[in-house]
Amino acid sequence: MDFRNLIAELKRRNVFRVATAYAIAGWLIIQICATTFPFLNLPEWLITAVIVFVLIGFPLSLIFAWAFELTPEGLKKSQEVDITESVTSRTGKKLNAIIITVLSMAVIFLLVERVFFAEAAFIENQADLGDIETASIAVLPFVDMSARQDQEYFSDGLSEELLNALAKVEDMKVAGRTSSFKFKGKNENLKLIGNELNVAHILEGSVRKSGNRIRITAQLIKADDGFHLWSETFDRELSATNIFEIQEEISRTVLKELKVRLLDEDEAELDNVPTQDIEAYQAYLKGNQLLVNRNYDEIVAAIDLYKTAIRIDPSFAAAHANLAIAYNQQGYYGNIPLDEMQKNIKESADQAMILNKESAEAYAALGAFHENDSNFEQALEYYLKSNELNPNLIDTYNWIGNLYQQLGQFEKQMEWYKKGFEKDPLNPLTIYNRTRVSLWNRDYEEMNRFFEKNIRINPDFIPTYYLKGNIASGAPFGRFDEAFINHYKTINLDPNFPRAYSFLIYETTALNLKPLATQYFNTLRTGYNQSFEYRGIVGFYEHYTAGKYDRFEEDVLRYFDSTNTAPNDGTVFGDMYDFAMQTGNFNRVLPYFKQHDPNLFSDTLKTLPRRNANQAYLLAELLKRTGDTEQSNILVTAFCDYAERSKEWLPQNQEDVGYLSNQSSCSFIKGDYDKYYVQLEELFNNHRDLPGVYISLWDLKNNFSEQYTDDFKNLQKKLDAELNIQRNNVIRFLKEEGEWNEEWEVRN
């Protein structure tokens, strides 16, 4: 084949001109559709369909140009037209005109598209940013790209300044610090980060220092497609005195570019410059990070760092405030006397308030101070004020939720836990509390997913293992052996976690491993006798294991007397009940019930608040034993009314294990033991509420022996058989760990 003749024939038949005209026209059609269809709200698949049709039509047009010719008599096959009669030259001129026309239209379209549609897209993007009702953003830690890698304090501080500034903008959703900082040093896909943090925008940047010059680059990116909405570079002279001015300048610029609504001019300051000393600032930032994992040694280290920051700069308000919070955590997780802890919290929080009356951390610390003093209403006021001042102070969501639990307002408790998780979804504490929400909702599959997530991404957060153990022993699992294994792992990961020891005492007692329970008790008493965990387990240990009360009155009752503190823990009231029932010294404990809530002694009491239901149930029997049957009957009626009402707010209503447990308690204090037995049996067989059945049968056997009938004895045998299986599982586990002592085999 002579290719020169073929090419000449293709030219003569205008195939090249048709290809050019079709390509330009097809491109123009596709561009017009791609640009206008979204504005017309037409489905995206229509654009795809247009592209497919245009592509299919291209080879067809070439075939058509080769096979047919347009003559004065109409369309004819090319082979039927004599070459001397062909008019392809005139057709070519027409095609040239068409090509020029289409090219002109393409140029006009490009101008319109670049001016009109680009402006519309810009407005749309700005609308996205300005729509603060739906705006959401995560501030990733700025990357220190300095040659010496010595500007991390500046890059982290800048990220925190931006994060805190954005968090104060009304209706702006800002991912929490802990979640954002999870991606520090990782080159994760931005879409993945957006999905993980549930935000639409990412703010990231870098810091590079060279000599006395520092270059900060910030850029705002759409998380779903990686599109850069805005970026800017700042070159500044850096000195020890202007570092925070630079941070504030950049924060203001970013806020302006995000088009969010700022405060009035006289209130438009961002966070006040925290300190003028870089060394103090570094110590403060390190201290903040050490408080995240709730590890006692790290809490102590954080306290030292805050003290260092304050020694360098005594006017550093944020360091004073966070020192107060650290003191509270030290008392909560450690072995600090209450009066010493409270003194430390108050002094540091008050100093922070003197220096900065708008310190969210100081308000949070004062909330903890009042909560420790059982002044719950005042504590809630301070916590809510703290949250209002800084919605990104994630700990407040936890503390507010915990306080609502104290108040018996469980729906609000779960609401605040969920808010905290939505704000900071990778924070170990918010995942911990979100797990508790799933437990409350009886969604155990979801609960396990959150457990797995927290262990995977926050393996150093010890409370996760502790909570896993707590849940394993209760309904609907009833696995003391699994609970023991989780709490055993907890103290191996962190020996300074006293709460795990208290549960190990509880589990080994129930599993009839009393020598091991005594070992754990001695460890707790020796190392943590000032902790609330110790005070919360002394009565149980002495009642169920030792059979006598050597330490309870000395270490618990006299503690409340000396500190003038009102007990509020239901566990301690249960211990007081056991103490009075075993010793007959009812007058020793009744004043604590009255101190907790005088209304329980009112002859007009009709409705019990949720927070006092457990105390009313116990008090009813104690008053009956003292001969005050009238007040006892008032409490019985009020408690049984509460038990019936509980189906209205429990997750599974009257099918909920909590409802059945409340009903069984009502039957017990009413003296309906036949019904009580049926309910206990159902709790054991259908709900695996082994802890509840264990304590109920123990109480019946030791304090109401005349009612301990054969039915209850048979139920006890079933319970003992189940616990014996679990006991053997624990022994096998300890042997595999090389931690078993044959002396522990002794049964009592």
In a domain, 545, yes or no: no
Q: Which amino acid is at 746?
A: V
In a domain, 733, yes or no: no
H, E, C per residue of 22-64: HHHHHHHHHHHHHHHCCCCCCCCHHHHHHHHHHHHHHHHHHHH
Model confidence at 343: pLDDT above 90: yes
In a domain, 641, yes or no: yes
What would the DSSP string read from start to end of 151-215?
-HHHHHHHHHHHHHHHHTSTT-EE--HHHHHTTTT----HHHHHHHHT-SEEEEEEEEEETTEEE
609 and 702 together in one domain: yes
User: 97-106, 205-214, 465-474, 653-662: which range is least confident on average?
Assistant: 97-106
Distance CA 679, CA 700 (A): 14
Model confidence at 732: pLDDT above 70: yes
360 and 398 together in one domain: no
> Residues 492-541: pLDDT tens digits?
999 889 989 999 999 999 999 999 999 999 999 999 998 889 999 999 99
Tell me if 365 sits within 8 A of 325, measured CB to CB.
Answer: yes
pLDDT of residue 69: 59
User: 118-132, 401-415, 436-450, 583-597: which range is least confident on average?
Assistant: 118-132
In this prediction, residue 262 has a pLDDT band, given cuts at 50, 70 and 90, of very low
Model confidence at 88: pLDDT above 70: no
In a domain, 195, yes or no: yes
Q: Which domain holds residue 703?
A: 585-725
Structural domain count, the chain: 5
Model confidence at 359: pLDDT above 50: yes
161 and 254 together in one domain: yes
Distance CA 690, CA 145 (A): 57
Neighbours of 721 (CB within 10 A): 9
Distance CA 540, CA 572 (A): 9
Phi–psi pair at 217, nearest 5 degrees = -115, 130
Phi–psi pair at 596, nearest 5 degrees = -65, -45
146 and 261 together in one domain: yes
Higher pLDDT, 361 or 570: 361
Tell me if 406 sits within 8 A of 609, measured CB to CB.
Answer: no
In a domain, 731, yes or no: no
- The pLDDT mean for the chain works out to 84
In this prediction, residue 387 has a pLDDT band, given cuts at 50, 70 and 90, of very high
293 and 417 together in one domain: no
114 and 144 together in one domain: no
% of the chain with per-residue pLDDT over 70:
81
152 and 253 together in one domain: yes
Model confidence at 189: pLDDT above 90: no
Q: What angle do CA 379, 384, 389 make, to 5 degrees?
A: 125
Gyration radius of the chain over CA positions: 37
In a domain, 484, yes or no: no
Model confidence at 442: pLDDT above 80: yes
In this prediction, residue 72 has a pLDDT band, given cuts at 50, 70 and 90, of low
Distance CA 625, CA 586 (A): 8
pLDDT of residue 746: 66
258 and 332 together in one domain: no
CATH number for position 189:
3.40.50.10070
Model confidence at 3: pLDDT above 60: no
To the question of pTM greater than 0.85 for the whole model, the response is no
User: Of 354, 378, 402, which residue constitutes the final position of a domain?
Assistant: 378
283 and 269 together in one domain: no
Structure tokens at 332: 């909560």
Distance CA 57, CA 54 (A): 5
pLDDT of residue 264: 39
In a domain, 414, yes or no: yes
In this prediction, residue 134 has a pLDDT band, given cuts at 50, 70 and 90, of low
User: Of 110, 127, 144, which residue constitutes the final position of a domain?
Assistant: 127
Model confidence at 385: pLDDT above 90: yes
Alpha helical stretches, state H, 458-567 = 463-473, 480-493, 498-510, 514-528, 532-541, 552, 558-563
Neighbours of 569 (CB within 10 A): 14
Mean pLDDT, rounded, for 140-154: 77
Question: Given the DSSP bridges, would you call strands 143-144 and 74-77 parallel, antiparallel or unpaired?
Answer: unpaired
User: Of 461, 478, 501, which residue constitutes the final position of a domain?
Assistant: 461
Distance CA 67, CA 14 (A): 11
% of the chain with per-residue pLDDT over 90:
52
256 and 350 together in one domain: no
245 and 341 together in one domain: no
CA distances for 380 relative to 137, 399, 454, angstroms: 29, 9, 28
698 and 716 together in one domain: yes
Distance CA 412, CA 405 (A): 8
Element (H, E) at 228: strand 228-237
Tell me if 319 sits within 8 A of 306, measured CB to CB.
Answer: yes
Q: Which amino acid is at 435?
A: T
Model confidence at 79: pLDDT above 80: no
Structure tokens at 696: 């109920």
Task: Assign 70 to helix, strand or coil.
Answer: strand
> Residues 34-61: pLDDT tens digits?
666 655 556 666 677 777 777 777 777 6
CATH number for position 288:
1.25.40.10
In a domain, 734, yes or no: no
Peptide bond into 476 cis (omega under 30): yes
In this prediction, residue 382 has a pLDDT band, given cuts at 50, 70 and 90, of very high
